[in-house]
Amino acid sequence: MSDVDGFDLTRRTVLKTAGAAAVGASFAGCLAGGDDQPAVDPDAETETAYGNCWMCHHACGQELTVRDGTAVDINGVDEHPRGSAGPGTEGTLCPKGQAELEKLYDPDRITQPYIREDGELREADWDEAFEYTARRLEEFADEHGPEQLLDATSWSTTNVHEYFWGNLYGTPESIGRGRHVCFGGPHLSGNLMGLGANMRFVDYQHSDYIIAWGRNIFESFAGQWEPKGVLEALENGATLVVVDPQHTPTAQKADHWLPIEPRTDGALALAMGHVIIEEELYDEAFVEEQTHGFDAYQEAVADKTPEWAEDITGIDAELIREIATDFAEAAPAAGIALWTGVGQYAEAQKASQNVFALNGLVGNIDRPGGFRMWQGPPLQMNPFEERGIDLPNNAEGRQPALQLSPEYEDYPFRHTTGIGHTVVPEMVDNGHIMGMVNHYDNPLTDGSTQAWLEAIETMDLVITIDAYWNELTRNADVVFPEAIQLEKDTLINYAPTWSAYHDRRWISASKAVHEPLGDCKSGYEIYKGLAEELGWGEYFPWESEAEYNEDMLANIDYTFEEVAEQNFVLLEEFEYEQWEENGFPTATGQFQFDLDEEGGYAESADELGIDTAPEWIPPGTWGDEPDDEYPLHFYDTRSVFFSFGADQPLEHLHEQYARKHGLEGEDYRGNYLVMNPRDAEPRGIETGDMVTVETAAGEGDEPAMAYVSERTQPGFVTAEFGFGTGNSHEEGMNTMWVHDTQHDPVSSQVDRHLAAEIRPAGGD
């Protein structure tokens, strides 16, 4: 039984790769359990309840088995828009989603409020915590003004936060996830070109040709409809192309894997455009009628031959021709999925602009199998208006300091974005930001960790809503423990657009499965309590989060109970080619190859001396380029087990992460530094050794364990983010410890690519 298509699948091999260490572990004796589910009567009747997964915030439906009042099992919801492949298909949960069951009963969670007294955090009850926080907020407003409080609540499941901090408290400073710390370059390019912020998602099931451009869809996805959709497309005969310096699980399934030189995506895209125009394979009618700036684009690609790109990208010129030709011939049923892989380096804005230009060129926009312009449900996003509440706008007239103060004139992104993650510590130094409110979004994982740690120390007031202790919660003045998704009534109101249903709007909701652990409260209840203490009680008439959600559904023919009862409902259909009627949401109303008409962008470009049209910006123009001292490209990555640096404390996840690397026998549960043997051997590094990373900013906070593998390109090393100093799971290294304000100067996106050297950590 040893022949599995050339892979040796004998007992010996499998034991070697997975089982052997597990046998070893069995002798380790009794270890403290990770599951703290209460004991339940196995004969008790079971009930079914629903949730919407919040682990990566992409809302796959969760079906809970509840026995004797305890949730004992968790599964997917069939036909769910995010967790299934669509009509007639089963819903599942990825490991993160399943681990929400562990989180529900996790004794390590923060389960009651804490306030700072005489320099120390102490337990408090809710009345005390609300009173203390309200007083501190009032003092802060008197001393600094609300404009000096940073709203860092970008990832919440209710939108009540933005009304509280923006309208009532009146701060104009807010950090957003998409624009500032996740995929700022593509976010900016996508929006300005006319594709919107959802430019990552292909109409997979109808596609004949999918390019996963720096995307690892089978491991890092925005809901499981993505890998499921791609698998369906492949079964239907679609071609999958993966552009990635790493051989990822997505590359494993690809027809073509293009192991590109890091950060040369823009060159590959321009060369593809060159071929498509040269071969006259572009969509002339679409280009003529629906686009702006084609002349400038044509000029930009005129000399960008595949041979030119071969030298830069390391991809064979003939293969570039083949990919470009096949992509254009498959169009419009050809889609490009692009996200953080082309989003997290300093030249990312222009690189993504070059890639997105291909959509306009082949006319795959909002056509079956290409790029889809998804429609969200017609939610009433302002429940205050629905209740007839005259909500003030106290942020009005208060300008973000970045756009006002001369200190920031060296930052071209001040024209395109209100603030940048990497500039916050400097703004704290300058006295422009003196406080912060945070919600389930730890800035210490997102860039410049050392500077941010100092900034938190300097701030007069730090309020945080979180589930686990970390360097931010420990340094806060107030810690509010929020109920997790399964403990509250939830309406998924953030971006419920893209899904396995290419032509349907949808909405998903769920009732609390369980009482909150300890003294946790829902986000709405926290804001209501705080508002009452601040004298704003009149603005919060809703008794509960469910009641608030009810008003969000004012435009939809379902009540909250009705949606929650079945977990999701499909709403009206929408058609392809919506641009025919609506045009594009851009300055010219057309798809824009050239961003010359976008005022803020044009100002940024002018200051930087770059073109508004697509252009080749070589790596090293703004970001770090490896040199003799720091010869390696160091990137942080995402695995299927973790998202947003928030899931690392969950034992099921870090355990399986270790097992995936065959390192479960090691007494280490941090992240792994992945490197090629050709880099590891000269440095005397083997799998299982502890190594340190060093960049121009200094040495890493802690060593990580090396994982030496041919899956990564020589010269290209990676580690998973969300571990180490500042994080909830401190074992391992913080990949952002060695980051020193590098960013994309156009979009302000944190540059998560660094030139580095890796050394054996020495010792044990």
Partner 1 sequence: MSEQWMFYFDPNRCIGCHACSVACKQRHDRDADADDWRTVSHLSRGEYPDFEEVPISMSCMHCHDAPCEQVCPPDAIIKRDEDGIVTVDRDRCIGCHYCAWACPFGAPTYDDEGLMSKCNLCLGEGPGGGHGQPERQTPEDGGPTPACVDDCVGEAIKAGPQSEVMAEATEKAAERFEQGAYGKRVIVEPLEEDADLADAIREGDEPAGAITYEG
* 641 is a contact residue toward partner 1 (CB under 8 A): yes
Question: Considering only residues 33, 397, 684, 763, which one is a binding residue for partner 1 as defined by CB under 8 A?
Answer: 33
Sole window of 9-17, 194-202, 299-307, 564-572 interacting with partner 1 (rule: CB under 8 A): 9-17
Please say whether the beta carbons of 80 and 200 come within 8 A. Answer: no
Residue number, 208 or 551, with CB nearest to partner 1: 208
Sole window of 283-291, 468-476, 479-487, 645-653 interacting with partner 1 (rule: CB under 8 A): 645-653
Please say whether the beta carbons of 181 and 175 come within 8 A. Answer: yes
* 542 is a contact residue toward partner 1 (CB under 8 A): no
Q: Which of 324, 294, 270, 292 lies closest to 194 in space, CA to CA?
A: 292
Which parts of 283-342 interact with partner 1 (CB under 8 A)?
314-316, 318-319, 322
Long-range contacts of 599-606 (CB under 8 A, 24+ apart): 599/415, 600/415, 600/416, 601/188, 601/192, 601/415, 601/416, 601/746, 603/412, 603/415, 604/412, 604/413, 604/415, 604/416, 604/745, 604/746, 605/412, 605/746
* 387 is a contact residue toward partner 1 (CB under 8 A): no
Which parts of 663-702 interact with partner 1 (CB under 8 A)?
676, 678, 682
Nearest-approach distance from CB 396 to partner 1, in angstroms: 46
For residue 453, give every residue at least 6 positions away whose Cβ sits within 8 Å of its Cβ, in sequence order, or none: 444, 471, 475, 726
Nearest-approach distance from CB 37 to partner 1, in angstroms: 7
Question: Considering only residues 128, 386, 655, 666, which one is a binding residue for partner 1 as defined by CB under 8 A?
Answer: 655
Count of C-beta atoms within a 10 Å radius of residue 181: 26
For residue 648, give every residue at least 6 positions away whose Cβ sits within 8 Å of its Cβ, in sequence order, or none: 642, 654, 722, 723, 727, 728, 729
* 29 is a contact residue toward partner 1 (CB under 8 A): yes
Sole window of 34-42, 280-288, 478-486, 718-726 interacting with partner 1 (rule: CB under 8 A): 34-42
- DSSP strand pairing (672-675 vs 753-760): unpaired
**Tokens of residue 622, six digits:** 């703004």
Sole window of 19-27, 352-360, 576-584, 740-748 interacting with partner 1 (rule: CB under 8 A): 19-27
Residue number, 265 or 551, with CB nearest to partner 1: 265
* 197 is a contact residue toward partner 1 (CB under 8 A): no
For residue 519, give every residue at least 6 positions away whose Cβ sits within 8 Å of its Cβ, in sequence order, or none: 111, 112, 113, 125, 126, 481
Residue number, 490 or 712, with CB nearest to partner 1: 712
* 7 is a contact residue toward partner 1 (CB under 8 A): yes
Question: Considering only residues 55, 66, 101, 613, which one is a binding residue for partner 1 as defined by CB under 8 A?
Answer: 101
Q: Per-residue b/e over 269-289, b at no fewer than 16 CB within 10 Å? A: bbbbbbbbbeeebbbeebbee
Q: Is 150 exposed, middle or buried (0-12, 13-18, 19+ CB in 10 A)?
A: buried
Whole-angstrom distance, CA of residue 504 vs CA of residue 498: 9
Question: Considering only residues 53, 77, 99, 674, which one is a binding residue for partner 1 as defined by CB under 8 A?
Answer: 99
Residue number, 15 or 302, with CB nearest to partner 1: 15
- H helix runs in 650-741, sequence order: 651-660, 677-680
Q: What is the DSSP letter of 68?
A: T
Question: Considering only residues 59, 175, 254, 706, which one is a binding residue for partner 1 as defined by CB under 8 A?
Answer: 254
Which parts of 120-149 interact with partner 1 (CB under 8 A)?
none
Sole window of 248-256, 274-282, 511-519, 536-544 interacting with partner 1 (rule: CB under 8 A): 248-256
* 237 is a contact residue toward partner 1 (CB under 8 A): no
* 256 is a contact residue toward partner 1 (CB under 8 A): yes
Sole window of 142-150, 188-196, 549-557, 646-654 interacting with partner 1 (rule: CB under 8 A): 646-654
Q: Which of 380, 379, 381, 392 lies closest to 539 in space, CA to CA?
A: 392
Whole-angstrom distance, CA of residue 692 vs CA of residue 713: 19
Nearest-approach distance from CB 64 to partner 1, in angstroms: 11
Nearest-approach distance from CB 340 to partner 1, in angstroms: 18
Sole window of 28-36, 296-304, 361-369, 755-763 interacting with partner 1 (rule: CB under 8 A): 28-36
Please say whether the beta carbons of 535 and 169 come within 8 A. Answer: no
Residue number, 189 or 313, with CB nearest to partner 1: 313
Whole-angstrom distance, CA of residue 117 vs CA of residue 62: 40
Dihedral (CA of 668, 674, 676, 680) sign: negative
* 656 is a contact residue toward partner 1 (CB under 8 A): yes
Residue number, 71 or 755, with CB nearest to partner 1: 71
Residue number, 29 or 388, with CB nearest to partner 1: 29
Note the residue count of the chain: 764
